[in-house]
Amino acid sequence: MSVIPCEQDPSVRQQIAEFAEVLKTQAHKLGDHGLAEKDFYASPIFRGAIQQVRGEFAAAMRGKREFVQHILNHMEDRGFIAGWDRAKRGVLHDYVVTLPSGRTAIIDLKGCLDGDNSKIFERPEGADEFVLWSLCTNVGADPRRNAWSGVHTRISAQIIARNQRVDGLVIWDMVCGTIGRACPKLL
């Protein structure tokens, strides 16, 4: 079994590719923009709408944060951590965790690791432990490629280029075990 056991469903990926092609070639027929086909694709409407929708999906962190908070609460209830809190606004990390020893662990949430967000991190002063935690919700993403790409071309490059220390990396494919991606460990 691979280090990343989850894998992309080829049939879902094919359906996504086919629908993307339909969207690219038929989008001019949607909505009430009043433009001819050629003018529509030359205008900023199509690309702007795609970027807006993509951004809205990517920025939807509520479910991810709730998931992490449930895990941190569970860890606190079981005595694995002494406590945790949301980070203050304006910092690049998301959670401050106090370990039973009194040491401080900082958690920085990320989306899928193949995105540029994986390059944006900064180990804060006073962090005894610094953990990047990837929570990928993209059913069209390839979990194995995301992990490889994120670690080899983004995170490690930043660690080396900026002399950053990262103590841990958690990769959680939130789609695994759903209708969008069967979990090989549950089959």
The per-residue pLDDT for 185 is 78
| CA atoms of 72 and 87, how far apart (whole Å) | 14
The per-residue pLDDT for 176 is 83
Phi, psi of 28, rounded to the nearest 5 degrees: -65, -15
CB neighbours (10 Å) of residue 99? 15
Report pLDDT digits (tens) over 63-79.
888 999 999 999 999 99
The per-residue pLDDT for 115 is 83
Q: Is the pLDDT assigned to residue 106 strictly greater than 60? A: yes
Phi, psi of 164, rounded to the nearest 5 degrees: -95, 145
Q: Can you give the residue ranges of every domain in the chain?
A: 10-59, 62-173
Is pTM beyond 0.85? Reply is no
Q: Is the pLDDT assigned to residue 11 strictly greater than 90? A: no
Q: Which two tokens stand for residue 8?
A: 């992309």
Where residue 169 falls among pLDDT bands split at 50, 70, 90? very high
Q: Is the pLDDT assigned to residue 147 strictly greater than 70? A: yes
CB neighbours (10 Å) of residue 117? 17
